[in-house]
Amino acid sequence: MASLVGSRVERKEDKRFLTGKGRYTADINLANQTYAIFVRSPHARASIKKLNIDKALKSSGIVSILTGKEIADDKIGGLIAGWAIRSEDGTEMKCPGNPPLAKDNVNFVGDPVAVVIAESLAEAKEAAEKVEVDYKVLKAVTSTADAMNGDTIHEGIDKNLCFDWLLGDRQKVKEAFDKADKVISIDIINNRLIPNAMEPRACVADYNAASEEITLYTTSQNPHLSRLIMSAFGNVAPEHKLRVVAPDVGGGFGSKINVYNEDIVCSWAAKKINRAIKWVAERSESFLTDIHGRDHVTHAELAVTKDGKFLGFKNETIANLGAYARVFGTVTPTYLFGPCATGVYEIPAAYTNVKAVYTNTAPVDAYRGAGRPEATYTIERLVEKASMELGIDKTELRIKNFPTAFPFKQTLVHTVDSGDYVAGMEKAKQMADYKGFEARRKESEAKGKLRGIGVTSYFEACGIAPSAAVMSLGCGVGLWESAEVRFNPTGQVTVYTGSHSHGQSHQTTFAQIAADELGVPIENIDIVHGDTDKGTFGMGTYGSRSLAVGGIAIVNACKKIVEKGKRVTAKMLEANPEDVEFKDGEFIVSKSNKKKTIGEVAFACYLPGVRDEMKSPLPEGDEPGLKETSFYDPSNFSFPAGTHIAEVEIDPETGHVKLEKYTACDDFGRIINPMVVEGQVHGGLAQGIGQALYENAEYDETGQLMTGSYMDYTMPRADNFPEFNIGYTCTHATTNPLGVKGCGEAGAIAAPPTVMNAVIDALGGQEVTMPATAEKVWKACKNLKKSNAKAA
Amino acid sequence: MKDFNYHSVKDSKEASKLASSSSAFLAGGMTTIPSMKLGLATYKDLIDIKNIKKLSGIKVSGKSVTIGAATKHVEVSNSKDVKKAIPSLSSLAEGIGDPQVRNRGTIGGSIANNDPSADYPSACIALNATIHTNERKIEASKFFKGMFETALKKGELIEAIEFQIPEKSSYQKHPNPASRYAIVGVYVAKHKGDVNVAVTGAKSCVYNDKEMSKALSGNFSSSSIDGMDLDSSEMNSDMHASAEFRASLVVTQAKKAVDAC
């Protein structure tokens, strides 16, 4: 039987999605359901003086209006930060309460203060307009860089500072800098982004008064975690009385990891009114209230010798958390950021210091790449600047500082098990025709255009997160994954995974893995996920963890099935279990022609006992049935890496940046389905290039979101991109049995510095902040013209 | 969206009869419907004029191209007659919004709305258009009054737009990367005797840039406007482009348009 792993198997989910048969949360309608509209703060920071619902209650079709008072009276808990971070001075991070409905204070535009529940959506909207809230507007804090100097947003949290965290050794870094021939320094902004999943958030909550069970259908990347948080911290219902279903979900990019206010409020309110409640976000609500991403202000320095050896690195960053610290809010700018700050280089001394601040803006949390794009942007912009200042070719300078052997023990935390960074660089250069660039630059110049080339070599730590590693770093939880492999008596297989697919093609790739492991045709394998009633537990999908953690759990559960199958076969064929081999779906007694198919074995497992000639095939001690579970906690992160090269052409008259060529050469370890991986790379690149050239979330000084619709927030479109030139090198991960690493975030991690390095190269080294919009680039071109004229 | 009465009418007379201070004519609805959805506009009556046969269609004579007000952008961009008579008008239509907008939006709707960054108003100015309404004929230069303001009176309905066929013309747009409306769009048209340089997006309303028109009427070459330093004091300034950048773009796009003629 040919292996399915490694082949371009067509997606099992495509028929459903392409024929409109997907079932998203908004497609779910329950009998007698009501509709919810949230009344939200129009102010970035205010105290609530009075909230009057009398007029709204008289509106037609009203079922109930609930406010922050009721939710507090019912002792429903608030939203939480999932990871505890300690400051450099040893103090615990400071997190404000974040009630699902604000009672006393609102802290960003969109913070909900009441929910209006009505018989129809139109009636709910109509009534919501009649809810009267008397706000005392306070001065908002909106700037990341100045947040520590602003008014105190949350009582008792001085300087709006959540924590002041350090990773690394300041003294060693100082010594390294003292020895340096040269110090390269850079000030950069990692621009704020809005994830913009295609499907806006939604939830439908239902309550069964007889069983006292709440069922919540929601747009989540991790239904079990949502249930855990809502139960343990939200006090909504005990876990066994709360079912969370995340059906088809149309994209998440991290924005659907969080439990949101609406999930808690609708679940709680459904029980209160004893009816189902449906809420679907409008796009403008998504802009305002989905978590945002990035938003760092960084000063970084690299100490180098004159021949280009890196000696030391420091990174001083202010990270914006927004109004509240949410689930991955505190870990994203720390453990997902700091350990990757030194990139793919051997740098003997390094530290990263992060000050996480609150502002009156939407909460900032994990967005595709989460911390690693910010880290990579800093080091790769710095290395590119070093190459300019030292006059050393940008690829040679990088190679000079690559690790020479693997495992590669990094300065800060990680031990990278495998990789070949030089091979990746050489292949990328070849794919991009790096040598031919000067000729192309001259051609552009002849047309009056400026051409630049940019390089990024990146690695990232994904497959989050090994408990041993992260708990020793001080984090509260590790992130293992579970799988359950169930055989039906007639031989088909259902695989439950705790991962969640919201675009990642698990139905196909996980089936490929199980098909290879079990020797069962792929069409006989179903992948099930996204329902707390269907599997024991699951951590969900983010941090490129589905395959490297969830996939391995499936492999391990399959191996347990095979082990049991060997014992059963041995009993059936009167052989020793040690003599039974498994290959391509058949259990074969070695040195004989005796064998059983896995289907026969499964059937036998379900029919134990003695009748006439038929005797139980189950060995003593084995129970009937064929179902195995694995909880897999990885021994280490996985470390994809690669080199990307971009070429841009700039029209100095208009500032227009045209991305001419984009080459990505990635090492994802073993690839399960090249077609799916290409999709992931394309999507990641689109978002990374989007950050570099187009996307920007902008608040004005009063905290109003200026980019609250697609009229002003530039979502990149297909015509903004060239055809991507994609290639791979492959070193297998040594820390998991499949040798896989993870590919979901690489594009978003590598693309911003790659594109910006190209833009800045074209601009003769002049700094431009992301996104490199036409006006910024036009101004830089004017400066360049002036300085060139002076030089001449 | 608040409830409203929907009327589909068969002729202009019926349309103006229904018009009131709380009504709006509905053609493609590309601005009206989103404004209503967002609660920025409410109407008691929407008068759908798409079914007025007379309002759709394209007629070309030796001197002019006349386009019915309810003609969709896609019909203008696909019209062989328009392509032949005024190719720049066809390509302007092809560059409006996205396919969904071009399949619904109409020329009359665009002009009546007079969005300061819409494309069509610049075509009207550059191509010395005459706006035919159910009551009168209005010259384009007197039609566009200010931001979202036109010479139309309440109940007055645009029936057709008559464009003068120029010797040469070109429309060049620097689009807003998000909305793809014009940050600056410049429509250059060389007629017998004079040159129009109609600019959209740069100020609160479309206008004919006299300075560039004069320079190009003397010498129709991009070198005659190269480096021209336009007064940016009345130009729009927002997060997408400052007034200074817009002033520069006006010249750049005008040069491109002249070169493309």
Measured between CB atoms, which of A653, A715, A775 is closest to B252? A653
Instruction: Tell me the three state secondary structure of residue B57.
Output: coil
Judge whether A14-83+92-138+198-251+256-289 and A481-632 match in fold. Answer: no
Cα separation of A504 and A482, whole Å?
17
pLDDT of residue A620: 85
Class of CATH domain A14-83+92-138+198-251+256-289:
alpha beta
Region A328-338 average pLDDT: 95
How many domains does chain B contain in total?
A: 3
Q: What whole-number distance in Å separates Cα of residue A752 and Cα of residue A400?
A: 23
Any chain B CB within 8 A of the CB of A785?
no
CATH architecture, domain defined by A481-632: 2-Layer Sandwich (3.30)
Residues 6+ apart with CB under 8 A from A52: A131, A132, A133, A134
B226 contact residues in A (CB cutoff 8 A)? none
Q: Does position A581 have pLDDT exceeding 80, yes or no?
A: yes
Work out the average pLDDT over A648-670: 98
The predicted structure's pLDDT at residue A551: 96
- C-alpha A390/C-alpha A290 separation (Å) is 43
Confidence (pLDDT) at A292: 98
Question: Measured between alpha carbons, how far is B91 from B82 in angstroms, rounded to an integer?
Answer: 10
pLDDT in tens, A483-517: 999 999 999 999 999 999 999 999 999 999 999 99
What pLDDT, in 10s, does the model give residues B144-201? Answer: 999 999 999 989 999 999 999 999 999 999 999 999 999 999 999 999 989 999 999 9
Average pLDDT (A312-316) is 98
Measure CB to CB from residue B178 to each of A654, A712, A775 and give the nearest one.
A712
Of chain B, the percentage scoring pLDDT greater than 70 comes to 100
For A737, residues 6+ apart whose C-beta sits below 8 A from its C-beta are: A552, A555, A556
CA distance B14 to B134: 11
Least confident of A351-355, A442-446, B36-40, B254-258: B36-40
**Residue A424 pairs with which residues in a beta bridge?**
none
Domain harbouring B23, CATH code: 3.30.43
Which pLDDT value is given to residue A542?
A: 92
Q: CA–CA distance from A24 to each of A37, A246, A461, A489, B63 (Å)?
A: 19, 8, 31, 31, 56
Which residues form the domain of B88?
Answer: 53-164
The CATH topology of domain A293-465+636-791 is: Aldehyde Oxidoreductase; domain 4 (3.30.365)
Residue B35 forms contact with A (CB below 8 Å): no
Q: Is A700 on the interface with B (CB under 8 A)?
A: no
| Tens-digit pLDDT profile for residues A405-426 | 999 999 888 999 999 999 999 9
Query: What is the distance between the alpha carbons of residues B138 and A552, in angstroms, rounded to a whole number?
Result: 73
ipTM of the complex: 0.95
Q: Which of B30, B35, B40, B179 to mutate to test the interface with A (most CBs of A within 10 A)?
A: B179
Residue A1 pLDDT > 80, yes or no? no
Residues A726-745 have a mean pLDDT of: 96
pLDDT given for residue A471 in this prediction = 80
Q: Residues B174, B132: one domain? A: no
Question: What's the whole-number mean pLDDT along residues A747-762?
Answer: 98
User: What is the rounded average pLDDT of the residues B206-230?
Assistant: 96
Nearest CA-CA distance, residue A686 and chain B, Å? 15
- Looking at the complex, report in whole angstroms how far the Cα of residue B225 sits from the nearest Cα belonging to chain A: 14
Q: Which helix (H) or strand (E) holds A644?
A: strand A641-651
* Whether the predicted pLDDT of A172 surpasses 80: yes
Q: What token pair was written down for A27?
A: 């497609």
B110 and B149 inside one domain: yes
Do B147 and B115 sit in the same domain of this protein?
yes
Helix-helix angle A421-432:A394-401, to 10 degrees = 170
Residues B56, B42 contacting (CB under 8 angstroms): no
Domain containing residue B182: CATH number: 3.30.390.50
pLDDT band at A366 (very low <50, low <70, confident <90, very high): very high
CATH number for position B149: 3.30.465.10
* Nearest-CB residue to A775 (from B38, B241, B252): B241
Confidence label for A94 from pLDDT (cuts 50, 70 and 90): very high
Alpha-carbon distance A160 to A178, whole Å?
A: 34
Q: What is the pLDDT of residue B45?
A: 97
Per CB-CB distance under 8 Å, the chain B contacts of A775 are 240-242, 245
- Cβ proximity of A237 and A179 under 8 Å: no
Q: Report CB contact under 8 Å: A774, B245.
A: yes
3-state SS, A137-179, equals: ECCCCCCCCCHHHCCCCCCCCHHHEEEEEEEECHHHHHHHHHC
Joined tokens for residue A211: 């069983």
Separation CA A377–CA A751 (nearest Å) = 9
pLDDT of residue A791: 84
Give first-to-last CA distance, chain A, whole Å.
70
Chain A and chain B share a number of CB contacts under 8 A equal to: 39
Residue A614 confidence (pLDDT): 66
Phi-psi region of A375 (alpha: psi -120 to 50; beta: other; left: phi over 0): alpha
**Strand (E) or helix (H) holding B78:** helix B73-78
Q: Is the pTM of this model over 0.80?
A: yes
Q: How many helices (H) and strands (E) does chain B have?
A: 11, 14
A-contacting residues of B 56-115, CB under 8 Å? Answer: none
Last residue of a domain, one of B119, B138, B164: B164
What pLDDT does residue A474 have?
67
pLDDT tens figures, B201-215:
999 999 999 999 999
User: How confident is the prediction for chain B on average, in pLDDT?
Assistant: 96
Task: Note whether A654 contacts B: Cβ–Cβ < 8 A.
Answer: yes
Judgement on whether residues B69 and B39 belong to the same structural domain of the protein: no
Q: How many CB atoms lie within 10 A of CB A537?
A: 15
Per-domain residue ranges for chain A?
A: 14-83+92-138+198-251+256-289, 293-465+636-791, 481-632
- Closest-CA residue to B10 (of B48, B60, B64): B48
Q: Read off the pLDDT of each residue in A600-624 and give the average, rounded to a whole number.
A: 84
Q: Which two tokens stand for residue A613?
A: 């000639």
Verify that B156 and B204 share a domain, yes or no: no
Could you tell me if B35 and B101 lie in one domain? no
For residue B239, list chain A residues with Cβ-Cβ distance below 8 A.
698, 706-707, 712
**pLDDT digit string (tens) for B12-35?**
999 999 999 999 999 999 999 999
Give CA–CA dist B186/B167, Å, rounded. 17
